[in-house]
């Protein structure tokens, strides 16, 4: 079957790699979406294992709709009994852009009317709409009046993993958090630290990755495909059992986080426990200025998402905070790679390090960067009575000049 996985901007290539490694035949990498071909087993495996997919779609119709009449007519041409069974409820999610139709809700409404009218004419009964937990969720995408209709295989966006109990003010979307961990190139073995961890989304996604836990195992309720006419329950339970058996019981990496706010750390602990990772992730209440690396011998990575300070008047506070982050990285994380995910590029200049890489991403509507800093060793040695001459590699300090910004 032809399938499409949607994702966040900037994660498309990583998603294609992830799908490929699950056995998908990739046919197209687009903006925020990857198209691929696979069978039922692959569909079930992607639903369970994909860390980077948002929606998982199975397209079944494509047409051009110049106006309302054309949309109604084209939708009426589809035999809806092939997709919505007797007594099943349904709902439509619609995304409309660059089209003569302005409102996605209106498009969804018209599509719903065409479906309901067909049922009424052919069977005398009309299926009910349930926008919260429908048996069948349809997805309509209209771009330049070209419509693609799909079945939503998960029934919901896969970023809602189901482990999150509580969140702080600005939690990261789980897919984005997994994306940051994967973009960092973390091997799942080295220490990983988030010194401003909030509700621990980065730490939790890292823990799931390291312990080989399939994120889809936390999914609340049924997946959409469990209500499809061609659902194979035995294959599904086999794929689930195989996924559960993959879990590694021994801790694979030192993963730790801290935050200034004790209430936030309580939330983080609840989320980590809900994900079954309480034995694998350490938490503490601590200011980022006091954040420490677990061991000097085994350098790891820092991944963190500081506040951006979106409110007016917070500029000076943010500049001071980012300077503190930079100072802590330089003093306490030598030998580490640090990844700072931020939407405040002005304040990020105060980190005072040259970014080795900047990956453009979005956090909701906010234009962000994942900034990579390489923290070379040996530049903040304690003075010794007979200091050895520095090796050429050690002379480089923190990797060069101050960051000049974008």
Ligand X SMILES: C[S@@+](CC[C@H](N)C(=O)[O-])C[C@H]1O[C@@H](n2cnc3c(N)ncnc32)[C@H](O)[C@@H]1O
Interaction site with ligand X (CB under 6 A): 168, 170-172, 196, 198-199, 201-202, 259-261, 264, 287-288, 305-307, 321
Angle at CA of residue 360, ends 379 and 216, nearest 5°: 100
CB of 307 to ligand X, least distance (A): 5
Residue 177's nearest CA partner among 59, 83, 303, 365 is 303
Q: How far is the CB of 257 from ligand X (least distance, A)?
A: 9
Residues in the chain: 406
Element (H, E) at 282: strand 281-285
Provide the minimum distance between the beta carbon of 324 and ligand X in the complex, in angstroms, as a whole number: 6
Q: Shortest gap between Cβ of 204 and ligand X (angstroms)?
A: 9
CA gap 129, 73 in Å, rounded: 20
State which residue, 216 or 307, has the beta carbon closest to ligand X.
307
- Please identify, using beta-carbon distances, which residue of 7 and 199 lies nearer to ligand X: 199
Residue 58 vs 161, nearer CB to ligand X? 161
> 211 or 271: whose CB is closer to ligand X?
271
CA 33: distance to chain centroid?
Answer: 13
Nearest residue to 170 (alpha-carbon basis) of 128, 206, 198, 132: 198
* Residue with nearest beta carbon to ligand X: 198
Q: Is 8 strand, coil or helix?
A: coil
Cβ at position 247, least distance to ligand X in Å: 23
Give me Rg for the CA atoms of the chain.
24
Using an 8 Å Cβ cutoff, are 48 and 151 in contact? no
The secondary structure element, H or E, covering residue 242 is helix 233-246
Q: Would you say 127 or 306 has its CB closer to ligand X?
A: 306
Q: Given the complex with ligand X, which of 61 and 274 has the nearer CB atom?
A: 274
Least distance CB 23 / ligand X (angstroms): 31
């Amino acid at each position: 079957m032809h399938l499409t996985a949607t994702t966040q901007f900037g994660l498309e290539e990583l998603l294609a790699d992830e799908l490929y490694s699950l056995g998908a035949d990739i046919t197209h990498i687009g903006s925020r979406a990857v198209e691929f071909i696979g069978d039922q087993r692959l569909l079930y495996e992607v639903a369970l294992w994909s860390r980077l997919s948002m929606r998982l779609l199975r397209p079944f119709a494509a047409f051009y709709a110049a106006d309302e009449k054309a949309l109604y007519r084209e939708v009426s041409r589809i035999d809806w009994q092939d997709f919505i069974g007797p007594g099943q409820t349904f709902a439509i999610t619609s995304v409309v852009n660059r089209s003569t139709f302005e409102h996605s809700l209106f498009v969804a409404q018209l599509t719903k009317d065409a479906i309901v009218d067909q049922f009424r004419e052919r069977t005398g009964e009309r299926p009910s709409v349930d926008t919260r937990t429908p048996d069948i969720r349809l997805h309509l995408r209209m771009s330049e009046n070209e419509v693609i209709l799909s079945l939503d295989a998960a029934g919901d966006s896969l970023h809602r993993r189901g482990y999150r109990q509580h969140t702080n003010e600005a939690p990261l979307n789980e897919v984005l958090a997994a994306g940051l961990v994967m973009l960092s190139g973390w091997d799942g073995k080295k220490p990983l630290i988030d010194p401003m961890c909030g509700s621990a989304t980065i730490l939790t996604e890292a823990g799931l990755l390291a312990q080989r836990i399939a994120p889809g195992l936390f999914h609340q309720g049924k997946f959409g495909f469990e209500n499809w006419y061609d659902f194979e329950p035995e294959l599904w339970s086999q794929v689930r059992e195989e996924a559960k058996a993959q879990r590694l019981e021994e801790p694979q990496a030192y993963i730790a986080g801290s935050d200034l706010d004790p209430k936030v750390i309580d939330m983080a602990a609840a989320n980590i426990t809900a994900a079954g990772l309480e034995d694998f992730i350490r938490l503490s209440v601590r200011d980022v200025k006091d954040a420490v690396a677990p061991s000097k011998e085994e350098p790891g990575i820092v991944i963190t998402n500081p506040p951006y300070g979106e409110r007016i008047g917070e500029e000076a506070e943010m500049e001071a905070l980012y300077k503190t982050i930079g100072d802590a990285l330089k003093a306490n994380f030598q030998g580490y790679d640090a990844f700072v995910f931020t939407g405040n590029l002005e304040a990020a200049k105060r980190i005072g390090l040259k970014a080795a890489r900047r990956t453009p991403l979005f956090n909701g509507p906010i234009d962000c960067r994942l900034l990579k800093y390489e923290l070379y060793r040996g530049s903040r040695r304690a003075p010794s009575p007979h200091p050895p001459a520095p090796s050429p590699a050690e002379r480089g300090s923190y990797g060069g000049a101050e960051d000049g910004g974008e």
